[in-house]
Amino acid sequence: MEAKQNGPNGELSSSVVPGPTNPMVTPLLTDLYQFTMAYAYWKAGKHNERAVFDLYFRKNPFGGEYTVFAGLEECIRFIANFKLTEEEISFVREALPSSCEDGFYDYLRGIDCSDVEVYAVPEGSVVFPKVPMLRVEGPIAVVQLLETPFVNLINYASLVTTNAARHRFVAGKSKMLLEFGLRRAQGPDGGIGASKYCYLGGFDATSNVAAGKLFGIPLRGTHSHAFVSSFMSPDEIVDRLLTSRDGSTICEDFVSLVQTWLSKVQWSNSLHGSFGETNQSELAAFTSYALAFPTNFLALVDTYDVVRSGVPNFCAVALALNDLGYKAAGIRLDSGDLAYLSCEARKIFCTIEEEFGVIGFGKMVITASNDLNEETLDALNKQGHEVDAFGIGTNLVTCYAQAALGCVFKLVEINNQPRIKLSEDVSKVSIPCKKRSYRLYGKEGYPLVDIMTGENEPPPKVGERILCRHPFNESKRAYVVPQRVEELLKCYWPGISGNKREDLLPLKDIRERCIKQLEQMRPDHMRRLNPTPYKVSVSAKLYDFIHFLWLNEAPVGELQ
């Protein structure tokens, strides 16, 4: 195996691929039946028959009409390092019936993915139902062993990326989105995966330190309730000295300076004496925090009472810091009516800017959190709010609105023979053949339709009319004259084909691709309420072939 190393910009160079991020991703991370099938293929002498599988999903998640594809790099890392250890082979031997012949274990010892080819849509692309995100070709027994880990690596990754993209869509471009979900995620891998893929889907930062280290995602955090409630009174603050930002003056008693400012805020003309006594233990916590982080003072203001205590206490500390040349970073609201409270806080900040002439005070950053999701973001927008940054955890990372994407991995060809999987439910009938797929763009630059063709059909051409047919509904068809044609499946693992392999890009680049692709979608596909479905089609030739194979394979019923 080649040495594992990244390129100068963190990208995976074309000749070396490190192992999966999670060391639990091994050849045993599969369903037992993949090994029993592998044995049965081997026993039948079929194990080396060349098979083609498509990995796709049938329905977009979250009631939407788009999905973002993610998880590809982890799949490639997995197959690049796919090799069963002796220990793993012994375990499989114990798990299978004792009647299984020894030769099978010699076979397992020898397999890797050097003879497997993976074609995929680039990670971070917008994708649609039925169009393969991955096309995997190789010896059938090996490719079957890949089914479960591939689906596992792609399912949640694509689901949570899509969830993040949807939250970004509602929040708008200008808001800061922070992923705060680690404590609520489905275990450590759920937490790490959520942080990686929420960033990919358009979040700005994560609170997850391990994800920051692993993937270079920007880290952000605010201030906790426990810190606020751990203080009883300002008397607890022993070291009260604070040097001004430029080092020119020393404030011997920062606690007194804060008290002075609190009185000024309390008696301010423009605030009309709206504050009485604020909570002194909260003030102590804020003051102490400012002494620890004078350049980055941020306070959680909802522990006792946002408007009567948290905000005025914050302002007193921020104004004292301002005297010493420091600019406070902002507040976080974590309960109550976030629209109302953010507007009240903003009014107070603006009043203070005017009354005390502190330029920029009115623009203080307001972060909001507490069980946020797409709906609450939408409701806040409709009501009007003054929040600049949202911290989102549970609903985002657990994908509370939809538990799984439902990716499937279906055999479409074996030994150059197209195969089909029939179902009573037409939407579950698989699209046979080793295929190519293309995205056709219209005059306005929007993608119009995805079209799948047989592998050897001539590709659609710019300016040339092509018939796009619904794969199963005879009456649904449209002519398209594409202004741009993009082939969707690219070679990410060439096997022995000798084809050029696409580089795996750094996460930041994948994120940029995702954001750009989402921006270039027609708005009616993206809206939350009753979005227009994006058209997914097949060529006329493929349509005819699907229906020929369907009739060929479906037994004719007999009525009695």
Interacting residue ranges for ligand PRP, rule: CB under 6 A: 180, 183-184, 225, 334, 369-372, 391-395
Is residue 221 within the footprint of ligand NIO (CB under 6 A)?
yes
Is residue 370 within the footprint of ligand ATP (CB under 6 A)?
yes
Is residue 191 within the footprint of ligand NIO (CB under 6 A)?
no
Token pair recorded at residue 224: 């906790």
Stretch that binds ligand ATP, among 21-29, 331-339, 468-476, 504-512 (CB under 6 A): 331-339
Q: Which residue has the tokens 């409270």?
A: 341
Kindly state the smallest distance separating residue 373's Cβ from ligand NIO, in Å. 15
Cβ-proximal residue to ligand PRP, closest one:
393
Kindly state the smallest distance separating residue 190's Cβ from ligand ATP, in Å. 21
Which residue's CB is nearer to ligand NIO, number 393 or number 418?
393
Tell me the angle at which helices 311-323 and 254-266 cross, rounded to the nearest 10 degrees: 120
Tell me the angle at which helices 280-292 and 311-323 cross, rounded to the nearest 10 degrees: 40
Q: Which of residues 286-345 bind ligand NIO (CB under 6 A)?
A: 332
| Among 136, 306, 338, 448, contact with ligand ATP (rule: CB under 6 A) | 338
Among ligand NIO, ligand ATP, ligand PRP, none, what does residue 221 contact (CB within 5–8 Å per kind)? ligand NIO
Measured distance CA(289)–CA(303) in Å, rounded: 15
Number of residues forming the site for ligand NIO (CB under 6 A) = 8
Is residue 21 within the footprint of ligand NIO (CB under 6 A)?
no
Is residue 344 within the footprint of ligand ATP (CB under 6 A)?
no
Kindly state the smallest distance separating residue 357's Cβ from ligand PRP, in Å. 34
Which residue's CB is nearer to ligand ATP, number 160 or number 387?
387
Cβ neighbours for 118, distance < 8 A, ≥ 6 positions apart: 75, 76, 79, 134, 135, 136, 137, 491, 492, 493
Is residue 222 within the footprint of ligand NIO (CB under 6 A)?
yes
Kindly state the smallest distance separating residue 334's Cβ from ligand ATP, in Å. 6
Asked if 237 and 287 count as a contact pair (C-beta separation under 8 A), the reply is: yes
Cβ neighbours for 410, distance < 8 A, ≥ 6 positions apart: 53, 54, 56, 421, 430
Which residue's CB is nearer to ligand PRP, number 395 or number 517?
395
Which residue's CB is nearer to ligand NIO, number 221 or number 325?
221
Which residue's CB is nearer to ligand NIO, number 332 or number 410?
332
H runs (alpha helix) in 201-337: 209-215, 225-229, 254-266, 280-292, 311-323
| Among 96, 343, 365, 379, contact with ligand ATP (rule: CB under 6 A) | 379
Nearest to 344 by CA among 364, 324, 323, 326: 364
Kindly state the smallest distance separating residue 369's Cβ from ligand NIO, in Å. 6
Asked if 156 and 150 count as a contact pair (C-beta separation under 8 A), the reply is: no
Element (H, E) at 331: strand 330-333
Kindly state the smallest distance separating residue 207's Cβ from ligand ATP, in Å. 17
Among ligand NIO, ligand PRP, ligand ATP, none, what does residue 394 contact (CB within 5–8 Å per kind)? ligand PRP
Among ligand PRP, ligand NIO, ligand ATP, none, what does residue 265 contact (CB within 5–8 Å per kind)? none
Is residue 372 within the footprint of ligand ATP (CB under 6 A)?
yes
Which residue's CB is nearer to ligand ATP, number 268 or number 342?
342
Pairing of strands 466-469, 477-480: antiparallel
Kindly state the smallest distance separating residue 328's Cβ from ligand PRP, in Å. 20
| Among 42, 66, 128, 180, contact with ligand NIO (rule: CB under 6 A) | 180
H runs (alpha helix) in 241-337: 254-266, 280-292, 311-323
Cβ-proximal residue to ligand ATP, closest one:
335
Measured distance CA(142)–CA(38) in Å, rounded: 7
Among ligand ATP, ligand PRP, ligand NIO, none, what does residue 442 contact (CB within 5–8 Å per kind)? none
Among ligand NIO, ligand ATP, ligand PRP, none, what does residue 80 contact (CB within 5–8 Å per kind)? none
Cβ neighbours for 11, distance < 8 A, ≥ 6 positions apart: 503, 504, 505, 506, 509
Asked if 118 and 146 count as a contact pair (C-beta separation under 8 A), the reply is: no
**Distance set, CA 291 to CA 156, 234, 313, 366, 453 (Å):** 42, 12, 15, 21, 66
Among ligand PRP, ligand ATP, ligand NIO, none, what does residue 184 contact (CB within 5–8 Å per kind)? ligand PRP
Nearest to 504 by CA among 3, 1, 18: 18
Is residue 394 within the footprint of ligand ATP (CB under 6 A)?
no
Nearest to 266 by CA among 301, 308, 323, 321: 308
Kindly state the smallest distance separating residue 184's Cβ from ligand NIO, in Å. 9
Sheet holding 490-493, edge to edge: 417-418, 407-414, 50-57, 134-139, 117-120, 490-493
Measured distance CA(533)–CA(275) in Å, rounded: 53
Which residue's CB is nearer to ligand PRP, number 184 or number 245?
184
Stretch that binds ligand ATP, among 112-120, 161-169, 329-337, 420-428 (CB under 6 A): 329-337
Name the site residues for ligand NIO (rule: CB under 6 A).
180, 207, 221-222, 332, 369, 391, 393
